[in-house]
């Protein structure tokens, strides 16, 4: 009698595990594979694209590109970049990127891209497209050293760009990423992705899966 009950419990547990596994696989196929396709067919992943980019966001409009021994943050508009024609123009937003983190949604949607570099802390939103820059107080946009930055920022409309001068102006969730990203060792991404964390500081294993799927 007891053995029969145990067998029934094990059988039900096996069915439940099988159902959960099926749901997980379906989730990956429906959303993960779709995200992979969208990423793969982005212009920057074309057969004739340059090799060197190490992270892409918002259908490859925003790219972290490794150049020699440093990384740069690029903004490329799709009308200036074709899958088989290459890039005609590139907006360099930062010539020295230290580290970054992508905020992925539950269904593989790219919510925001957080990038920390020499000019400050970028918060890039995909829908609607918007760039927020918590600018480094040492950055002088009138200086010849930052001419590339002032030219790039000038091309954004008022609806697309916000420049902040204090971390107190950041939204609560953006501030969380800002404080966390500052704790990463400089150039950590040359070796590995930082572990994505939940608000309470524990590892977010779902996001960890998204990191390596990406």
Chain-centre distance of CA 188, in angstroms? 15
pLDDT score of 185: 52
Contact 193, 207 (CB under 8 A): no
Q: 10-residue block means of pLDDT along the chain (214 residues)?
A: 69 76 72 61 49 60 78 73 55 88 75 90 90 93 90 90 94 89 58 50 55 47
Say how far apart CA 5 and CA 121 lie, in whole Å.
59
Say how far apart CA 191 and CA 206 lie, in whole Å.
21
pLDDT score of 56: 67
pLDDT score of 166: 93
Reference 75, options 163, 156, 157; nearest CA is 156
pLDDT score of 189: 47
The 8 Å CB, 24+ separation contacts for 148-153 are 148/92, 148/95, 149/92, 149/93, 149/94, 149/119, 151/91, 152/75, 152/91, 152/92, 152/93, 153/93
Reference 78, options 94, 64, 93, 63; nearest CA is 63
Say how far apart CA 60 and CA 3 lie, in whole Å.
58
* SS3 state of residue 31: helix
Contact 155, 122 (CB under 8 A): no
H helices present in the chain, as ranges: 2-27, 33-40, 147-154, 172-182, 205-213
């Amino acid at each position: 009698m007891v053995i029969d009950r145990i067998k029934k419990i094990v059988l039900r547990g096996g069915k439940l595990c099988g159902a959960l596994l099926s749901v997980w696989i379906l989730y990956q196929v429906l959303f993960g594979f779709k995200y992979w396709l969208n990423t793969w067919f982005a212009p920057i992943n074309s057969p004739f694209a340059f090799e060197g980019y190490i992270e892409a966001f918002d259908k490859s409009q925003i790219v972290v590109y490794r150049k020699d021994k440093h990384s740069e943050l690029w903004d490329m508009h799709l009308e200036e970049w074709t899958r088989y024609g290459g890039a005609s123009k590139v907006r360099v937003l930062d010539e020295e990127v230290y580290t970054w983190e992508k905020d992925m949604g539950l269904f593989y949607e790219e919510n925001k891209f957080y990038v920390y570099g020499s000019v400050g802390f970028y918060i890039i939103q995909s829908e609607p497209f918007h760039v927020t820059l918590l600018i480094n107080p040492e950055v002088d946009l009138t200086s010849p050293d930052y001419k590339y930055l002032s030219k790039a920022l000038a091309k954004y409309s008022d609806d697309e760009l916000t420049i902040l001068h204090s971390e107190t102006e950041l939204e609560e969730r953006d501030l969380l990423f800002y404080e966390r990203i500052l704790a990463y060792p400089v150039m950590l991404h040359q070796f590995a992705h930082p572990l994505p964390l939940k608000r309470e500081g524990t590892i977010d294993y779902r996001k960890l899966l998204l990191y390596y799927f990406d």
